[in-house]
Amino acid sequence: MRTALGQGHVSTVIQSLEIQLRDAAFRDLRQLLEELLNDRSILADDQAARPCEIIHRQRSRRVETLFGPITLSRNYYYHTKAHQGRYPLDETLDLVRGDTPSFAKLICQAATLSTSYARAGATLAEFAGVTLDERKFSRLVADIVPELEAAQATLPQPSDITLPILYLETDGTGTPFRREILAGVKGKQPDGSAHTREAKLGCAFTQTTCDAEGRPQRDPDSTTYVGTYDGCREIGTLLRAEALRRGYAQAQTTVYLGDGAPWIWENARINFPGAVQILDFYHAGEHAGTLAVALHGPGEIASQQQTRGCHLMKHNSAQPIIDEVTTLLAEHRDHWPENKIIEIEKQIDYFRTNAERMRYGEFIAAGYFIGSGVVEAGCKTVIGQRMKQSGMFWGETGGQAILKLRCMVLSRNFEEIWAARLPILAQARTQAPRWLPSLN
């Protein structure tokens, strides 16, 4: 017992020592950074005043950094007629929100990778010794996402790559929203109201190899995401833009996988003409089961027929099922009850509509994936793990912002997006009028 207590005491001392050393190092780093950013031989802050401007020198502000807060002194240019001002050094250093770029990026990553803003604040406090409240996270995320979207749109399309197969998938999942936002919206609640709003998610990934048995292998770290609450058409537009950034124009084959919802195939038709369309095999199997129950009633026979149907589809296509059931329907139409016939015809129509998307024997022989598991997993990880936590109810702006930011952070190219933001901000500052010409 004494040994265990002794070990526990030593562990506590070491933990305390490590925290003290970290805090001491951060104090020194804050001092060093503060001296560097206030050194005008390194960072000039002496622009000439524009007409009607008065310079107020050495205005101080608190700046949050990776190592904690520092104080920055810089010149303030005040326009006496427009009653507006500017801090050129803040713009140069990208401090318009009071955070250094590295710290702002860390806030974005913590806000999206944690399960809540409260958890993000606790994580930063634990690992970086920085304390932030939830409002800081929500304000920064809502403010910076439009800039990051604009930056993402400027990423160059590859022109010198060889891309054997590009996969595209889309799906949707409901997330809880505030009551006032869902007022009047039809939903699946017993009273017809809506408890959730559907987020649409799209993903793109690549495949260059198959394993020894010919099964396709997704390229590691190749998945990127796009998401929105704006609806079916918008997710199609976003996914096309992402596909072009991923090399859609150079892809030898593009495969579009979906669960059978009509909006998914309409997006494929509009945005990816010529793509190989594949109905997710799991959903096809579910419909094979529904058809088997309609034919034989629930029980062991229906289960066996579902297994048989899946085997036929996987090694051939849906056509043998269509032919077989069409024949049975013609033979027994006069003897089967109307409700049974209606359900059978409904399922056969589903198979006929998607027949070209259910040529699984050909798809497997070509080395393609036949399941949309990547986007379905994305609905759980990208959306569900962050936006479906107990007690969460999202607003319009906050929900859209965190969804879009999480898609960027969890994609492989977030660093590129972040870097592309700076030229856009610089260009916007040169083009934006500070005040009306008549005031000069």
* Beta carbons within 10 angstroms of residue 185's beta carbon: 13
CA distance 202 to 226: 5
Q: Which two tokens stand for residue 337?
A: 């009850």
pLDDT tens-digit map of 145-191:
999 999 999 999 888 888 999 999 999 999 999 988 888 788 777 87
Work out the pLDDT band at 440, boundaries 50, 70, 90: low
Please name each of the domains of the chain with its CATH number: 32-151+417-439 (no CATH), 162-279+373-410 (3.30.420), 283-358 (no CATH)
Q: Which two tokens stand for residue 51?
A: 């007409």
Secondary structure element (H or E) that encloses residue 108, with its range: helix 101-113
Secondary structure element (H or E) that encloses residue 331, with its range: helix 319-332
- Helix/strand/coil for 97: coil
Q: Is 48 exposed, middle or buried (0-12, 13-18, 19+ CB in 10 A)?
A: exposed
Q: Which two tokens stand for residue 332?
A: 């027994």
Q: CA dist 234 to 39, 170, 237, 239, 422, Å? A: 48, 12, 5, 9, 26
Query: Quick one: pLDDT at residue 96?
Result: 73
Looking up tokens 């560097």 gives 36
Q: CA dist 48 to 44, 88, 350, Å? A: 12, 11, 71
Show Cβ contacts of residue 120 under 8 Å, excluding neighbours closer than 6 positions.
107, 110, 111, 113, 114, 132, 137
191 vs 248, residue with greater confidence: 248
CA distance 316 to 319: 8
Written in H, E and C, the secondary structure of 117-129 is HHHHHHHHHHHHC
Distance between first and last Cα of the chain: 80
Q: Mark out the alpha helices in 38-128 (DSSP H runs).
A: 88-93, 101-113, 117-128
Work out the pLDDT band at 1, boundaries 50, 70, 90: very low
Residue 7 has pLDDT above 70, yes or no: no
CA distance 295 to 316: 22
Average pLDDT of the segment spanning 70-91: 93
pLDDT tens-digit map of 251-303:
999 999 999 899 999 999 999 999 999 999 999 999 999 999 999 999 999 99
Q: Which two tokens stand for residue 423?
A: 């030229």
Angle between helices 117-128 and 134-153 (to 10 degrees): 100
Query: Quick one: pLDDT at residue 435?
Result: 61
Cβ atoms of 241 and 247 within 8 Å: the answer is no
Query: Quick one: pLDDT at residue 238?
Result: 97
What amino acid occupies position 235?
I
Cβ atoms of 171 and 372 within 8 Å: the answer is yes
pLDDT tens-digit map of 35-75:
999 999 999 998 899 899 999 999 999 999 999 999 999 99
* Residue closest to 29 by CA, chosen among 62, 61, 63, 70: 70
